[in-house]
Chain A
Amino acid sequence: MAEAAAAPKKKGLSSGMQILIAMVAAILAGIFFGETMKQIEFIGSIFFRLIQMGIFPFVMCTIITSVGSLTPQQLSGNGLKGILVFVVTSGIAAAVGIFVALVMQPGAGLENSKLVQEAVFEAEASTVTLQDTLLSFFGNNIVNSMSSGSMIQCIVFSVALGLVISSWRNSHDGNCIVYDFCSQLAELLIRIIRAVMTFAPVGIFCYVSSMIGNLGPEILIPLAKFLLAMAVGMIIMFIGYFIVISIRCKLNPFRLVAKMLNMTVIAFGTISSAVTLPIAMEDTKKKIGCDPDIADLLLPLGMPLNSNGVAVHLAVTALTIAQMYGIAFGTGQLINVWLISFMLSFCNAVSPGASLLSMTMLIPALNLPMASIGIFGGLEYPTGAIRTTLNVDGDVFAALLVAGADGIDHEVFDAD
């Protein structure tokens, strides 16, 4: 099904496919050549550093521009309700991800492997108090937060700056030099990242083959469990959504599933919420009967802002990696994982290799070993599909939730 729907725009293989092939080749190379493959790990590191070097300004500029571009109309009435729904659902999604990963323990079972025994992890001790955790969201000095890589502090600052920019633009006829500067910088950085992403298969190959070569193929066992955990997380989110929507909007959930099937399949196949957006808008208005004003406002707004799938993905990945390395997270760190997954889900880059990119943000932010990034980054296609499906459907759910029973034309909904 996936192959049929996937419509790569470039000639040749899609980037997801290339990465998948690179990963399979790397597993084979790792098994055949063993430890010698470790010699090429640095090539993988070069690839990831080329991405990482631009990540901080990229995340900040993306958040500053997406918050800064909010208009007063979007920040009031239905827009504000929608944003609240986005925030709450992303928070829930990250929590579901943590819950699923804690229950299913996808990364467990490697205690005796070389990985755990060799791992030198820098994750800080779990003696952090709640107050320390809360306080650590705020930096003393934003330049210091950027240079020391404190993601949450930078995001807090960016949101504050974005809000101020939004009101500034409103009182200055939409002009704001800082906004233009940030949006152009983000644009430039994503170009760098896209260019580097062309070499993603090479980077993934080097990382994965050296990891497999060094540690043996049993390191792959958690991956299957990991994908399963993500799928379960997604299903939990879906079921929750259908229950809430059918009660709030008085809709028949089975009918709703049928009406959303089309956009879900496209999201799954293209792994791009941008590509799916026109169809999602069309179907939400014409098939489900959502109030067009709400759909037109919230669906485009939700594309960058509301990424439930990303929140689930990041939370599950973080915990899986921690479990693989035998790092036990205390409550303080779980809150940290939750927050970072939740907050990073708002700077969802619309680009190929998006999963890989968000992992480049997540893993250093939690002080987890970078070596793990290869095998999880190699799962670009399957994780991307799950993420995008939940992202797109999450936007539609948010719009329906805001619309409520009165905002939906039940005649349209009941028609075939």
Chain B
Amino acid sequence: MPTAPEKKFTYNPTIGIIIAMILGIAAGLLVGKPMGEVKFIGDAFFRLIQMNMILFVVTQIVDAVGGLSGEELSSIGLKTIAAFLISSLLASAWGIACAVIARPGAGLENSELVLNATTDLTATTTTVQDTILGFLPTNAVSAMANGMMVPSIVFSVFLGVAITIYRQHHGGQSKMLDLVRELGDLLLTIIRLVMNVAPIGIFCYVSASIGTLGLEILIPIGKYILVLLVGTLIFTIVWLIVVSVRCELPIGALFKKMIPMTVMAAATISSAVTLPLEMDDAKRKIGLRDKIADLALPLGMPLNSNGSALHMAVTAIFVAQMYGVEFQGGALAYVCVIALMLSLANAVAPGATLISLTMLIPALGLPLEAVAILGGLEYIVAAIRTTLNVNSDVFCALLVAKSEDGIDYDIFYGRKEYQEAA
């Protein structure tokens, strides 16, 4: 493809989304509850993207794994998964440390908020064994139909590996791979088209969320939000420093290239909806090579959830403090591991973390009412969490890429245009 003419018009999606968000918050505050009426437009926008997501992720992973050679597969795959697990565990531990030091839940024992909390949620109990078993599908179609990301990905990885082996015996050809690859491209085209109206969808969604919930809810548990926000911020900055040193990239430039996806993540509170933009920017702006980006980023969406792990760890300790329960030593390690596990089991949908909390809180012997209090905060908390989830995917991918010659520095420094693979 010859050099595509640069877009001349000044429409910048990131700016559009930021403006939509600000307008949305303002409209939500000014108009209040009636803004809830437009939520369905935002929902419709999200669904137009979400409907493609499971197939998109499956096609990306099958394509990425199926397109690799044997050695590449094991080295990239293993390194990526190791990076995901270690960073999520660190995030979880960091979240516990933040909450233990800052004690956001102390002094709330007798507040109205805690005393009045009621819930219609039911406790879900889960053991570590169940959680691990849950990563494996019993039926690939039903896993996809129910939006269970990890089982679908496990299936896709196996299919991809099978395709790799098949191709070795068939002169590198596989009709299945071609079909999957093209389907992935077609789905991405649908998503890109829908993205053009992102500001409208985001305005409706944000204004409805703020309008129906109001900002007052923030005040009593402002400390919790603050701890979460600062904890996430520090974690992100440390990540940024580690990656820029390891990959020898200028920190400022890297930060700047990651702004659009961060804004998108915060606005849509969905790592799934952000994924296409994230992949585009990682390839076109940061210079991540296809073999890394196509594998690590879709894989990281459900498997690498630094933000969710951190959020769940902070929340667990916060709730315990709120009800005057002290966790120590072994119990803290348990919280750390459970938070990590549940961050892996997250279904990729807005509001999914609430479901994870219904597993986490009872698993720690804490009252479920706490989830109801936090439920009202979902939007704000999710915005914080999702940015870290998305950013850490890219960070992990960059770390792996460094050791696999997967970064094209010419693209990063703007010396060359990204070329679509033939």
Contact = CB atoms under 8 A, between A and B. Distances in A.
Interface string B171-196: 00001001100110111011001000
Nearest to A160: B190
Interface of A is mostly: helix
A221 B37 CA distance: 45
Contact of B186 (A131, A135, A144, A178): A178
B147 A141 contact: yes
B108 to A, nearest CB: 35
A140 interface: yes
Nearest to A167: B189
Interface in A140-167: 140-148, 153, 156-157, 160-161, 164-165, 167
A159 to B, nearest CB: 10
Interface residues of B, number: 31
B47 A143 contact: no
B86 interface: no
A329 interface: no
Nearest to B146: A144
Contacts of B50: 139-141
A177 interface: yes
Nearest to B52: A142
B44 interface: yes
A168 B189 contact: yes
Interface of B: 37, 39-40, 43-44, 47-48, 50-55, 141-142, 144-147, 175, 178-179, 182-183, 185-187, 189-190, 193, 349
A160 B145 CA distance: 19
Contact of B183 (A143, A167, A178): A178
Given A131-B40, A134-B44, A177-B182, A141 B190 contact: no
Nearest to A138: B47
Interface residues of A, number: 29
B48 A141 contact: no
B40 A143 contact: no
B146 A178 contact: no
Contacts of A164: 186, 189-190, 193
A176 B193 CA distance: 19
Given A157-B51, A168-B186, A144 B145 contact: yes
B176 to A, nearest CB: 10
A143 B182 contact: no
Given A164-B189, A164-B190, A138 B44 contact: yes
B302 to A, nearest CB: 14
A152 to B, nearest CB: 12
A140 B179 contact: no
A312 B132 CA distance: 53
B182 A144 contact: no
B190 A147 contact: no
B144 A181 contact: no
A383 B43 CA distance: 40
B190 A181 contact: no
Given A140-B50, A156-B51, 14 more contacts: A131-B39, A131-B40, A134-B40, A140-B51, A141-B145, A143-B144, A147-B145, A160-B48, A160-B190, A161-B186, A164-B186, A177-B178, A178-B183, A178-B186
